[in-house]
Amino acid sequence: MQKAHIGCHAFASLIVAAALACPAPGADFGARFDEIKRSASPAELYAFLFALPKGGDLHHHNGLSAYGATWYAAATSPKTLARNSFYTMTKLGNCSGDSDARPRFYTVQRATFAKLSTCQQGEFEALEKLSPEMKAAWLSSLVLDRPGEGRKEFFDEIVLRFGDLNHDPYLAADVIVENMKLFGAEGVRYIESQSIPAGFLHADGRPMDPEDANRIIEQRLHEADAAASGVEIRFQDVVIRFLPNAEQEIERAYAWVAAHRDRWVGINMAGIEDNSKGYALRFLDTYRRMRRTYSDIPLSIHAGEKDSPGHEVHDTLLLGASRIGHGVNLISDPDTMLLMRNNVYLVEINLISNRVLEYVPDTSKHPFPEYLRTGIPVCLNTDDRGAWGSNMTDEYYTAVTTFNLSWKEVVDLGRNSLTHSFAEDSLKAAMLGDYDRQVHAFEGRFAGDWRGALKGVKPLVSQYAGQRWGFHE
Ligand SMILES: [Zn+2]
């Protein structure tokens, strides 16, 4: 069987595949994958899944997707220091004007630092001058790496610490490209990053026109190393749903995406949904009004990211969403589950996020296999992987080892991520064709001496994988 597969693959490379009717990817590699699951060591399985072609990541948040180490390297690079510099609050002091809302390691740019009182400046240190110990503490402050750190640490501390790092478009662009390289190294070919095209500052502290910031980022994305990453990137404009002006933000996002469709492909809503400010139906009138004016702007919306039952996913489909972020409590809403079976709506699954933020602390109880195996389209995603210290390989490793995924399920997850992406039709078709070819090549690579083939794989082991499973490079 494996021989036949190799033969087909070899002939495919001679461009006679059509005449031979090669099987679709995933059709005949299942037995080999079962053997690998049975007999590979955990580290071998991790390496195998690192090398796996993985399609796209449809759900992650731009700044928080990048590791602290990536931010640090970019923020302290000679290129950045030639036009800006950053200071981080290493001491919690007692100066007048100090805000309790600013956690330790809150980071500002030079112009913000210059406006602080002398007392307050004494609480900060230049990022590039941190001692090795202080740098390690700064890096640790951006990731959930200690016992007891969870939802509260993430929302109340980590998110705030970025401060002005998020406001420098040149720095943001460098970080995006470095993140693309990391995604590319583990076989991800497309990312659809949630981003807010506003709030940028000039190095002297003046607000920057979003169009200017967008141009800066766009120029960076056209540099050679971005293309060499092998990763295509598109953005979703994300609205924070619990803000008092969220309706106006949705209007702004529609106008922005409509005017920048080459790179901005959809709208998302994030933030806590289970209070009187963030619930889905608050926005029904706004989305209906927007649809009277704008065509073809798809919605992916966080919904049901909760550990209690509810109809959030139902209400979010009513808003017009074709993709649901998380959908953890969809399992509690049978009618909506039945509606979504064998339908066009995809649930963006985030296993590690749900675990570390304590929405599903025990992954073995996650509803993902129920969705997957009852015909609700799903794919795997990394969410705020910078803050988890994780990567896409970790998501696949978690899914395969917790739920005994079949080869067909593994391949379908990647294909779903591309099929349900908001990429333009031509790019989507090209990526799906590439994906099938890459999966075929991957199957061919591991169809023979798979253990020997694995020796050629050098996985980038994430901090999460090191801490949770004890892997090392
Ligand atoms: Zn998210």
Does the pLDDT of residue 384 top 70, yes or no?
Answer: yes
Which of 34, 46, 30 minimizes the C-alpha distance to 390?
A: 46
Question: Kindly report the CA angle at 68 between 67 and 74, in degrees rounded to 5?
Answer: 95
CB atoms within 10 A of CB 115: 10
Taking the centre of ligand 1 as the mean of its atom positions, its distance from the CA of residue 158, in whole angstroms, is 15
How sure is the predictor about 4, in pLDDT bands with cuts at 50, 70 and 90? very low
Taking the centre of ligand 1 as the mean of its atom positions, its distance from the CA of residue 291, in whole angstroms, is 24
102 or 416: which carries more pLDDT confidence?
416
- What Cα–Cα distance (Å) separates residue 453 from each residue in 47, 444, 449? 10, 10, 6
Q: Which structure tokens are listed for 257?
A: 């995406």
Taking the centre of ligand 1 as the mean of its atom positions, its distance from the CA of residue 407, in whole angstroms, is 27
Identify the three-state secondary structure at position 347: strand
Does the pLDDT of residue 14 top 70, yes or no?
Answer: no
Tokens 């991790």 appear where? 46
Identify the three-state secondary structure at position 53: coil
Q: Which structure tokens are listed for 83?
A: 């036009």
Taking the centre of ligand 1 as the mean of its atom positions, its distance from the CA of residue 325, in whole angstroms, is 6
Taking the centre of ligand 1 as the mean of its atom positions, its distance from the CA of residue 19, in whole angstroms, is 45
Q: Are 329 and 308 in contact (CB under 8 A)?
A: yes
% of the chain surpassing 90 pLDDT? 90
Residue 64's Cα: distance from chain center in Å? 8
Tokens 């990763």 appear where? 231
Side chain identity at 338, as an amino acid letter? L
- pTM recorded for the entire structure: 0.94
What pLDDT digit, counting tens, does each position of 316-325 carry?
999 999 999 9
- The strand pairing partners of 378, in sequence order, are 347
Does the pLDDT of residue 20 top 50, yes or no?
Answer: no
Side chain identity at 396, as an amino acid letter? Y
Taking residues 107-127, report their average pLDDT: 96
Alpha-carbon gap, residue 156 to 150, rounded angstroms = 10
Taking the centre of ligand 1 as the mean of its atom positions, its distance from the CA of residue 196, in whole angstroms, is 13
pLDDT at 464: 98
What pLDDT digit, counting tens, does each position of 255-280 carry?
999 999 999 999 999 988 877 799 99
In the 8-state DSSP scheme, what is residue 60?
Answer: E
Does the pLDDT of residue 26 top 60, yes or no?
Answer: no
How sure is the predictor about 24, in pLDDT bands with cuts at 50, 70 and 90? low
Taking the centre of ligand 1 as the mean of its atom positions, its distance from the CA of residue 83, in whole angstroms, is 32
Which of 63, 167, 164, 171 minimizes the C-alpha distance to 113?
A: 164
> Rounded mean pLDDT of the chain?
93
Alpha-carbon gap, residue 418 to 265, rounded angstroms = 14
Identify the three-state secondary structure at position 109: strand
Alpha-carbon gap, residue 407 to 36, rounded angstroms = 11
How sure is the predictor about 27, in pLDDT bands with cuts at 50, 70 and 90? low
Taking the centre of ligand 1 as the mean of its atom positions, its distance from the CA of residue 268, in whole angstroms, is 9
Q: Are 174 and 79 in contact (CB under 8 A)?
A: yes
Taking the centre of ligand 1 as the mean of its atom positions, its distance from the CA of residue 238, in whole angstroms, is 10
Taking the centre of ligand 1 as the mean of its atom positions, its distance from the CA of residue 58, in whole angstroms, is 10
Taking the centre of ligand 1 as the mean of its atom positions, its distance from the CA of residue 257, in whole angstroms, is 19
Q: Are 284 and 309 in contact (CB under 8 A)?
A: no
Taking the centre of ligand 1 as the mean of its atom positions, its distance from the CA of residue 269, in whole angstroms, is 9
Alpha-carbon gap, residue 454 to 447, rounded angstroms = 11
In the 8-state DSSP scheme, what is residue 106?
Answer: -
- 172-176, 270-274, 394-398, 453-457, range with the lowest pLDDT: 270-274
Q: Which structure tokens are listed for 11?
A: 């002939």
What pLDDT digit, counting tens, does each position of 135-152 carry?
999 999 999 999 999 999
Taking the centre of ligand 1 as the mean of its atom positions, its distance from the CA of residue 303, in whole angstroms, is 10
| Euclidean distance between the first and the last CA atom of the chain, given in angstroms as a whole number | 34
Taking the centre of ligand 1 as the mean of its atom positions, its distance from the CA of residue 391, in whole angstroms, is 15
Taking the centre of ligand 1 as the mean of its atom positions, its distance from the CA of residue 361, in whole angstroms, is 17
Identify the three-state secondary structure at position 81: helix
Run of H or E residues at 326: strand 323-326
Taking the centre of ligand 1 as the mean of its atom positions, its distance from the CA of residue 59, in whole angstroms, is 6
Does the pLDDT of residue 25 top 90, yes or no?
Answer: no
Does the pLDDT of residue 22 top 80, yes or no?
Answer: no
How sure is the predictor about 15, in pLDDT bands with cuts at 50, 70 and 90? very low
pLDDT at 23: 53
Helical spans, DSSP H, in 404-462: 407-419, 425-447, 450-454
Taking the centre of ligand 1 as the mean of its atom positions, its distance from the CA of residue 403, in whole angstroms, is 23
Tokens 């112009």 appear where? 111
Q: Which structure tokens are listed for 293?
A: 């004016």
Alpha-carbon gap, residue 215 to 213, rounded angstroms = 5
Rounded to the nearest 10 degrees, the angle between the axes of helix 30-39 and helix 425-447 is 60
What pLDDT digit, counting tens, does each position of 37-59 carry?
999 999 999 999 999 999 999 99
Give the dihedral sign, CA 240/241/244/248.
Answer: positive
Taking the centre of ligand 1 as the mean of its atom positions, its distance from the CA of residue 170, in whole angstroms, is 24
Which of 51, 71, 113, 99 minimizes the C-alpha distance to 458?
A: 51
How sure is the predictor about 218, in pLDDT bands with cuts at 50, 70 and 90? very high
Taking residues 141-165, report their average pLDDT: 94
Does the pLDDT of residue 12 top 50, yes or no?
Answer: no
Q: Within 13 A of 375's CA, how many CA atoms are on the CB side?
A: 8
pLDDT at 469: 98
Taking the centre of ligand 1 as the mean of its atom positions, its distance from the CA of residue 354, in whole angstroms, is 10
Taking the centre of ligand 1 as the mean of its atom positions, its distance from the CA of residue 335, in whole angstroms, is 24
CATH topology of domain 49-67+169-436: TIM Barrel (3.20.20)
- The strand pairing partners of 61, in sequence order, are 194
CATH 3.20.20.140 residue ranges for the chain = 49-67+169-436
Taking the centre of ligand 1 as the mean of its atom positions, its distance from the CA of residue 395, in whole angstroms, is 15
